Structure 1
Amino acid sequence: MFVSGCQMTQQPDILVVNEQTPADFVAAQPNDVVNALTLDALNDQQIVEEAPVFDDVWERIRYQLSIPVPQNRAIVSERNYYAKHQSYLDRISKRGSPYLYYIVEEVEKREMPIELALLPIVESAFDPFGFSQRAASGIWQFMPETGERFKLKQNWWYDGRRDIVESTRAALDYLSYLHKTLEGDWLNAIAAYNSGEGRVLRAIQKNRQKHLPTDFWSLDLPKETTAYVPKLLALSDLLKRSDEFKVTWQPIVNAQVVDVVDVGSQIDLALAAEMAQMSITELYRLNPGFNRWATDPQGPHTLLLPLDIVAPFNEQLAKTDLKQRIRWQHYVVQKGDSLSVIAKKFDTSTQSIQTLNELSSNMIKVGQELLVPLSDANIDNEHLSKQMRLAAAPVKKQTVRYKVKKGDTLWDISNAHDVTIQQLANWNKMSADSILKLNQELVIHKSSQAVQPSRLEQSAKAITYKVRKGDSLARIASKFKVSVDDIVKWNKIDSKQYLQPGQKLKLNVDVTRT
């Protein structure tokens, strides 16, 4: 009785059973203990399933799709539209083939939803020169202000919004920020990428005040944004169920096909194309961020090149002296010259002249010899802007005699002939505030450059702009870097006529100037 009263139940020692445990040791244990411990060991073991290896980037994306796609009217409508336009899907694959693998790699590195790699389809259909009526540019369609906010350099030489590498970095930075700001909701983050986080935050706050849900489908957002997210999800669904909808995604090799090369200094892009043994058109297709014939003197000096060309290109680059990377000519400084005057004369920049001549300041003197950057590349190219092609075109002098009409002013005439009021006054030996007389004859000296229009008309994009409240012709012209006269001519309207909100205007915009 004493023994039974003090008896305690002894628990077995904890044993770890795994593939290294001797069989005879396991066999000596009670069955119930071994079974329990073996089960625990299996539960604790982490089973890592290796991802399949794909030959096609589209298959790689399909395997990772994770955002649920509700079968609502908006998504079904967008999906059916895409499914009926196989030629559009083919164009997407062709345009995206140099870029998509890189974008997928960057999305995966950040552990973001793979659906984001499809966003450039919605934004621009992978057109690096894509341009919107709101002045957004590039495959990720950055507005100028948003581009600046996410450190995309934009100047005369270069526009980072069109740079594939830099714009992808900035877009994923922006989406990460939006995801965090909007409490981890990816659909709301994607909506905010289209309309701005302020608008989405206000819509969320409005619903909270009414005790309503704050998911994307419950928010009151602009019409464009309510269609934007369904477009992305429709593409995702169509990719996932391509067999069901009988569409084909033209294969894109699931391998690195391009690499970034830092050339370390300003370089003539025509020379870079020669060194890479590729056409300048191919070079600009991979490097659409450059506005001119060379990289920005202040950088970036990085080029995206086909992977198999990188090694021979670097060999050629190592043999090329820094000064030989820019094509140049000798120039002797004349009276009245300044670096800015010389730069304007040769359609280059003061920084480029300074860099080439290793000048520590803007000070120059008469008789000083300078090397001035000059490109002799073939500039009749579909990817180059009007300014780039004009820079190397032969100049022809032309004298025009103009007879003053009723209502004419020096400002009107100078603007119509693309000269300054002061030039017009000097040529006709009058003051800039002179009163013109009816039928008075004026002499106008113009320099014309014979440039054949490119297939894409100097990187111009025809867009339709919807007039907003407070808009004027001058304001719209300034925003899109065109003239009032051009807007009037393109739309056959009266320049004195008031614009109406909602009115649509046709604009031909050079994407390298915005």
Structure 2
Amino acid sequence: MTKISLKILLALCYLLATGCSFPKNADSPENNNTDSVAAIEVSTGEQAILNTLEGDAFFPAHLFYTEPLTNTAEADEQQYEDVFPSNREPDDVWQRLRNTFSLPRQNNPRLDQQLRWYAKHPQYMKRVSERAAPYMHYIVETAERMKIPSDIALLPIVESAFKPFAYSHGRASGIWQFIPATGKRFGLKQNWWYDGRRDVYASTIAAYQLLTKLRKQFKGDWLLALAAYNSGERNVHRAIRKNKRLGKPTDFWNLKLPAETRAYVPKLLALKRIVADPNKYNVQLTKIENKPYFEKVETHSQIDLARVADMAELPLDDVYKLNPAFNRWATSPHGPHYILLPISQATIFKEKLAALPKKQRIRWVRHKIRKGETISTIANKYHTSISSIKRVNRLRKNFLRAGHSLTIPVASRSLRSYKFSANQRLKKQQNIPRKGIKISHIVRRGDTFWSLSRRHKVNVRSLAKWNSMAPRDTLKPGQKLIIWSRTGASVSHNDPDHLYIPKRRNIMQRIGYRVRSGDSLARIANKFKVSVRQLLRWNKRLRNKKYLQPGQRVTLYVDVTRQTS
């Protein structure tokens, strides 16, 4: 029992001991039966109670007095805050969510199944809550401002596990997983420099706008709106019409929807329960302070992200993590012209930005056009866009004249420093060791993920993932792909002649060798330091032939570090 509760109990005991009555006022009639409590003054009994409670201010003073007190208004306000501490703003975002959850409680075996999964994987929840830390306050506050149930602020956990660079096999990107077309519908620009689907600030607003539209479309049903967010409104409308024809209920739980969608909504509802009572499920959420983490700072023009990092006194990686929408080494010349920065560093950045001339926000070089060069090859050389070169040099057409010079915007640091740019993320993904023979393939006209997957006996989705793409993405001639080929060889480690897959990167190459006069399988194998057995695996058509013919083509996979000239 707390100190204040003990004092209240003593006060109540005193009231009981005195018969719950106060001494009569001297002006009152001796035998008056009317209730005169409303007109009483402070008596000796009342003062005893007040003395008992003095210093704890549990009850507002008007409960004891009918006449004005001498206490100041400020003191009364402090008393009220002490009486009702729940009126104070929570100091933790998760508690703020718990206080404002509004979606009706649901009970369903599918929900229970998801709940069990999250409860069995507490480390997953811990990692996700850590990744959510920079973004969560903004997402929750924006939900409240746009009158979205705060429960839906947990949706990025389902969509992307709060991975800002998430990219799905369905071409969805960012923490809210917008596909290209839907992103454009809701104002999220997508170009060489910038992808608004990964812009935490803009995509959160767009996601809530889409969900509000879907909720209206489904007559206020948030569960159907969420299902449509995942699988598209057409699928949900189709399922509703079918159930109506069959005389079945048309709520979410009774609709026949894609398997992913049938699990999607229960995942969100399960997360709500986890966050509402993490101790019950043995889950530990990383504490997130209930205050803004970042500030949106207007830049008004393109700026090198390394310059931003220097002026904000931040690691460049931290700038990218708050601004994952920027694909390259700088913000987009076409806008939006803003940057998200930790509040602690925003002021110093704004001061330095105001003092920095616009011409110094980007480094520039002069390039003298050589014969045969095109605007495309020059853009590739300097890792910038064709549109940027044309805009800066006021070119209307792609025609260039040898001997003339161009002003080119370039990065202020080595490109390797921009670890989270699209190019560097792609290199990192392509260099992850996998099973098979690593091949560098230059896309030719007519190549598709399907044709390449058939040729190399790999899964289409895997092939796309190795190259940070989706199966439906378009391949462009000249584009470089990494393929971990499974053709012509078994990679079983039980076989003593299994293909050697080195731990070092970028050393295995596929080559085509033309047979010369006097060549034999043994001679070719010895020349390239492979076995005859491997040669036959890579060239099955040779197994039934006794002799090699000059000019015949033989395919080999060789470790270039073991070859001599």
Q: Could you state the TM-score of these two structures normalised by the residue count of structure 2?
A: 0.61
Q: Is the 8 A contact 2:323 2:339 kept in 1?
A: yes
Q: Is the 8 A contact 1:133 1:464 kept in 2?
A: no
Equivalent of 1:269, from 292, 299, 305? 305
1:352 aligned partner: 388
Structure 2 counterparts to residues 268-347 of structure 1, below 5 A: 268-337=304-373, 339-347=375-383
Equivalent of 2:423, from 386, 395, 399? 386
1:232-254 residue CA offsets vs partner (Å, 9 max, x unmatched): 00000111122322322221010
Aligned length: 379
| Secondary structure of 2:212's aligned partner | helix
Q: Is the 8 A contact 1:293 1:388 kept in 2?
A: no
Cα distance in 2 for partners of 1:488, 1:364 equals 33
Cα distance in 2 for partners of 1:465, 1:388 equals 18
Query: What amino acid sits opposite 1:165 in the alignment?
Result: Y
1:186 to 1:493, Cα distance in 2 relative to 1, 3 A: farther
1:361 aligned partner: 396
Equivalent of 2:442, from 415, 418, 422? 418
Query: What amino acid sits opposite 1:71 in the alignment?
Result: N
User: Alpha-carbon deviation of 1:370?
Assistant: 3.0
Q: Is the 8 A contact 2:295 2:342 kept in 1?
A: yes
Cα distance in 2 for partners of 1:378, 1:250 equals 35
Query: What amino acid sits opposite 2:142 in the alignment?
Result: E
Q: Is the 8 A contact 1:477 1:487 kept in 2?
A: no
1:76 aligns to 2:70 (yes or no)? no
Cα distance in 1 for partners of 2:214, 2:408 equals 46
Cα distance in 2 for partners of 1:477, 1:119 equals 25
1:66 aligns to 2:102 (yes or no)? yes
1:130 aligns to 2:124 (yes or no)? no
Q: Is the 8 A contact 2:441 2:483 kept in 1?
A: no
| Secondary structure of 2:297's aligned partner | strand
1:252 aligns to 2:288 (yes or no)? yes
Q: Is the 8 A contact 2:440 2:483 kept in 1?
A: no
Query: What amino acid sits opposite 2:422 in the alignment?
Result: S
Query: What amino acid sits opposite 1:383 in the alignment?
Result: F
1:173 aligns to 2:173 (yes or no)? no
| Structure 2 unaligned regions, length at least 5 | 1-34, 39-83, 428-438, 446-457, 464-468, 489-565
Equivalent of 1:149, from 185, 194, 199? 185
2:461 aligned partner: 465
User: Alpha-carbon deviation of 1:185?
Assistant: 0.3
Cα distance in 2 for partners of 1:111, 1:145 equals 25
Q: Is the 8 A contact 1:135 1:143 kept in 2?
A: yes
| Secondary structure of 1:83's aligned partner | helix
Cα distance in 2 for partners of 1:154, 1:347 equals 18
Q: Is the 8 A contact 2:126 2:283 kept in 1?
A: no
1:490 aligned partner: 484
Q: Is the 8 A contact 1:330 1:370 kept in 2?
A: yes
Q: Is the 8 A contact 1:379 1:389 kept in 2?
A: no
Q: Is the 8 A contact 1:291 1:388 kept in 2?
A: no
1:340-363 residue CA offsets vs partner (Å, 9 max, x unmatched): 443233221233224444x26347
Cα distance in 2 for partners of 1:476, 1:306 equals 32
Structure 1, 363-372 or 89-98: larger mean CA deviation: 363-372
Cα distance in 1 for partners of 2:406, 2:192 equals 22
Q: Is the 8 A contact 1:333 1:368 kept in 2?
A: yes
User: Alpha-carbon deviation of 1:367?
Assistant: 4.2
1:51 to 1:172, Cα distance in 2 relative to 1, 3 A: farther
Equivalent of 1:164, from 191, 200, 221? 200
Cα distance in 2 for partners of 1:177, 1:74 equals 26
Equivalent of 2:473, from 470, 476, 479? 479
1:204 aligns to 2:240 (yes or no)? yes
| Secondary structure of 2:344's aligned partner | helix
1:234 aligned partner: 270
User: Alpha-carbon deviation of 1:217?
Assistant: 0.8
| Secondary structure of 1:199's aligned partner | helix
| Secondary structure of 1:233's aligned partner | helix
User: Alpha-carbon deviation of 1:492?
Assistant: 2.0
Q: Is the 8 A contact 1:56 1:251 kept in 2?
A: yes
1:220 aligns to 2:256 (yes or no)? yes
1:370 aligns to 2:406 (yes or no)? yes
1:175-224 residue CA offsets vs partner (Å, 9 max, x unmatched): 11110111110000001111000000111111122232211111111111
Query: What amino acid sits opposite 1:193 in the alignment?
Result: Y
User: Alpha-carbon deviation of 1:333?
Assistant: 3.5
Q: Larger relative CO (CA 8 A, sep 6+): 1 or 2?
A: 1
CA RMSD of aligned residues (A): 3.5
Cα distance in 2 for partners of 1:464, 1:124 equals 22
Cα distance in 1 for partners of 2:478, 2:312 equals 42
Cα distance in 2 for partners of 1:178, 1:419 equals 40
Cα distance in 1 for partners of 2:153, 2:337 equals 26
Bigger radius of gyration: 2
User: Alpha-carbon deviation of 1:169?
Assistant: 1.4
Query: What amino acid sits opposite 2:203 in the alignment?
Result: S
Q: Is the 8 A contact 2:112 2:270 kept in 1?
A: yes
Structure 2 counterparts to residues 111-122 of structure 1, below 5 A: 111-122=147-158
Q: Could you state the TM-score of these two structures normalised by the residue count of structure 1?
A: 0.67
Q: Is the 8 A contact 1:159 1:290 kept in 2?
A: yes
Cα distance in 2 for partners of 1:142, 1:53 equals 33
1:181 to 1:238, Cα distance in 2 relative to 1, 3 A: same
Query: What amino acid sits opposite 2:231 in the alignment?
Result: S
1:416 to 1:105, Cα distance in 2 relative to 1, 3 A: closer
Cα distance in 2 for partners of 1:233, 1:486 equals 43
